[in-house]
């Protein structure tokens, strides 16, 4: 489903010099697969997720998603593609504080160009255990509940791939496992592939496939040569 080939990304520093961040020769995710991308802080995990999501365009290489090369699409086309096919869960949930739980999920449906399906939003919130807290604003929900809303929002458009960037890092230990289980179960039910970024071994060890970014990313090898 997702195939990255020779993806390279570097940033320009304030002094004008270039800092290479990523050089991934090959990375693939199959449909419905669940895997972990592990790596230390600053290793480029989030940058890679942004490239896969189409938020950032790589300097070189291809990001093929079901045959569509995101790297060649215009920004507007990438936005539309992301809205329809990719869900995103953040470490700090990033719910919009002025919107209720239901509205936050509905918001996730608002940019993909199709009719908003509020019943699906209600169903998803019910699925994540918040069926009775639809009208609650994020500030009145616990951190665990907020992340459940974020999961429901990410799945609102029936994406093919869910990108989860350290989704349990901001949650207390008791809720971490619940949220993780919830993400994995719902992805399975919805037949959504899951690419979960984490640096926590306790999370990584629960997945059959764990990719270490340090091993994928050849940027240091190239620099050393």
Site membership for another protein, residue 19 (CB under 8 A)? no
x/- letters, 133..172, toward another protein (CB under 8 A): --------------------x---x-------xx------
Under the binding rule (CB under 8 A), the answer on residue 80 touching another protein is yes
Of 20-28, 76-84, 181-189, 209-217, which part binds another protein (CB under 8 A)? 76-84
Closer residue to another protein, CB minimum distance, 170 or 206? 170
Q: Which is nearer to another protein, 111 or 224 (CB)?
A: 111
Q: Does 90 contact another protein by CB under 8 A?
A: yes
Contacts of another protein in 22-61 (CB under 8 A): 46-47, 50, 53, 55-56
Tokens for 48, please give them.
């890679």
Q: Which stretch binds another protein (CB under 8 A): 19-27, 101-109, 126-134, 179-187?
A: 101-109
Say how far apart CA 8 and CA 20 lie, in whole Å. 8
């Amino acid at each position: 489903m997702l195939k990255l080939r020779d993806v390279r990304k570097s940033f320009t520093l304030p002094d004008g010099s270039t800092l290479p961040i990523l050089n991934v020769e090959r990375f693939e995710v199959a449909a419905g697969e669940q895997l972990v991308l592990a790596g230390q802080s600053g290793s480029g995990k989030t940058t890679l997720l942004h490239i896969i999501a189409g938020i950032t365009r790589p300097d070189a290489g291809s990001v093929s998603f079901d045959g569509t090369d995101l790297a060649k699409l215009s920004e507007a086309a990438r936005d539309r593609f992301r809205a329809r096919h990719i869900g995103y869960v953040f470490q700090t949930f990033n719910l919009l504080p002025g919107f209720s739980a239901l509205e936050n999920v509905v918001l996730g449906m608002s940019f993909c160009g199709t009719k908003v399906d509020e019943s699906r939003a209600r169903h998803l919130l019910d699925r994540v255990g918040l069926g009775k807290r639809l009208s609650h604003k994020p500030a009145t929900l616990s951190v665990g509940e907020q992340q459940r809303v974020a999961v429901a929002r990410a799945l609102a458009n029936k994406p093919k791939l869910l990108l989860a960037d350290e989704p349990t890092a901001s949650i207390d230990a008791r809720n971490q496992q619940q949220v993780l289980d919830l993400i994995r179960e719902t992805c399975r039910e919805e037949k959504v592939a899951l690419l979960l970024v984490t640096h926590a071994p306790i999370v990584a060890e629960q997945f059959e496939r764990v990719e270490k970014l340090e091993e994928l990313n050849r940027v240091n090898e190239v620099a050393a040569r």
